[in-house]
Amino acid sequence: MLSPLRVAVTGAAGQIGYALLFRIASGQMFGPDQPVILHLIEVPVDKAMHALEGVVMELEDCAFPLLAGTVCTSDATEGFKEVNWACLVGSKPRGPGMERADLLKDNGKIFVGQGRAIDEHAAADCRVAVVGNPANTNAMIGAAQGERIPAERWTAMVRLDQNRAVGQLAKRAGVSVADVTDTYIFGNHSPTMFPAFGLAKIGNRPATEVLDGSYLQGEFLETVGKRGAAIIAARGASSAASAANALVDHVRGLVTPGKVQSVAVKSDGHYGFDPAVWAGLPVRTTETGYEVVEGLTLDAFAKEKIAATNAELVSERETVADLLP
């Protein structure tokens, strides 16, 4: 029997948390032989902590053989103590009339505190996956707070955008999602992100040969870019099950050597991104970590889109400059 992994989830009583925890505890994130201890972290507000108690009751009622324990807390030191993975889902939603700059700064402060706590208390091998928006910039802020956990271990989630892009290409082409490959998201998890359809393949043929260019440059980009808003309009709440599913894919992919998927990581200048921003890139998992897949050919249209999403990431970094050491 493997010893349990400690997995922290912030925002554990939120809607993504509710769709996520049961999948982690059932073994879908770390595999069918890997026990887990869930560290469930919420804000120190009675309503949230009570809701969390209810979630823990339901976890108990599932009698998951792989769930070796739960820790419920609003204290970051206790919450991140010795964790091997930190899934940072909790963040402050954008309120009515709130400027994006205020959202960036308010959430940035959360990630300053959590970044420090992770650096001080997490296990030496800790890896971090940021979901809470603005995810890329939050990951950059969190990674900047410490020295013990290398910045490369901080990732942000763009896998939902990848899955959305794959779903749309498969639907349009009338094929199974399994026939759609090489679909990667470049840039920010925001409407500026670029699903690089020029690299995608459908049934081993370039997507650009299977589907017409006006669809790919128009309706496809618009549908994927505005999918989050469309779900809010239809459901009256933001995407939760698909976001949780994407996080399961993101982490599972990062613990599966050879897997290639879109992950927002410190760019180091790849594909023209500013070296200090966290950008969605094609990433291959290795035995010891991951590497950015280099050498993919991008056309002028893709380069222009990447420049635009890079400009947004750089401007987000400038907005939160006072939160960076």
Nearer to ligand NAI, 49 or 293 (CB): 49
> Is residue 323 near ligand NAI by the rule CB under 6 A?
no
Determine if residue 133 is labeled as part of a ligand binding site: yes
153 labeled part of a ligand binding site: no
Q: Is 9 in the site for ligand NAI (CB under 6 A)?
A: no
Cα-Cα-Cα-Cα torsion 25, 30, 35, 40, nearest 10 degrees, comes to -50
Residue 14 counted as an annotated binding residue: yes
In the range 98-157, which residues lie near ligand NAI by CB under 6 A? 110, 131-133, 135, 157
We find the least distance from the C-beta atom of residue 297 to ligand NAI, in angstroms, to be 27
The interface region with ligand NAI, picked from 13-21, 168-176, 255-263, 316-324 by CB under 6 A, is 13-21
Give CA–CA dist 245/171, Å, rounded. 19
Angle subtended at Cα 307 by Cα 135 and Cα 89, rounded to the nearest 5 degrees: 5
Q: Output the residue with the shortest Cβ distance to ligand NAI.
A: 14
Least separation in angstroms between CB 65 and ligand NAI: 27
Min. distance of Cβ 242 from ligand NAI in angstroms? 8
To the question of whether residue 163 is assigned a binding role by annotation, the answer is no
Query: How far apart are CB 41 and ligand NAI at their closest, in Å?
Result: 5
Tell the smallest beta-carbon distance from residue 213 to ligand NAI (Å). Answer: 27
Q: How far apart are CA 16 and CA 298, in angstroms?
A: 34
Confirm whether residue 100 is marked as ligand binding: yes
Candidate list 4, 27, 48, 252; residue touching ligand NAI; CB under 6 A? 48
| Residue 13 interacting with ligand NAI (CB under 6 A) | yes
CB of 322 to ligand NAI, least distance (A): 19
The count of other CB atoms within 10 Å of the CB of residue 259 is: 15
Q: How far apart are CA 269 and CA 277, in angstroms?
A: 9
Select 132 or 198, whichever has its Cβ closest to ligand NAI.
Answer: 132
Number of chain positions touching ligand NAI (CB under 6 A): 28
**Active site (annotated) includes residue 189:** yes
- Considering the rule CB under 6 A, would residue 71 count as an interface residue with ligand NAI? no
Which among 39, 50, 121, 189 is annotated as catalytic? 189
The pattern of x and - marking residues 233 through 272 that bind ligand NAI according to CB under 6 A reads -----xxx--x-----------------------------
Catalytic residue numbers read: 189
Residue ranges in contact with ligand NAI by CB under 6 A: 10-11, 13-17, 41-43, 48, 89-93, 110, 131-133, 135, 157, 160, 189, 238-240, 243
* Residues annotated in a binding site for substrate: 94, 100, 133, 164
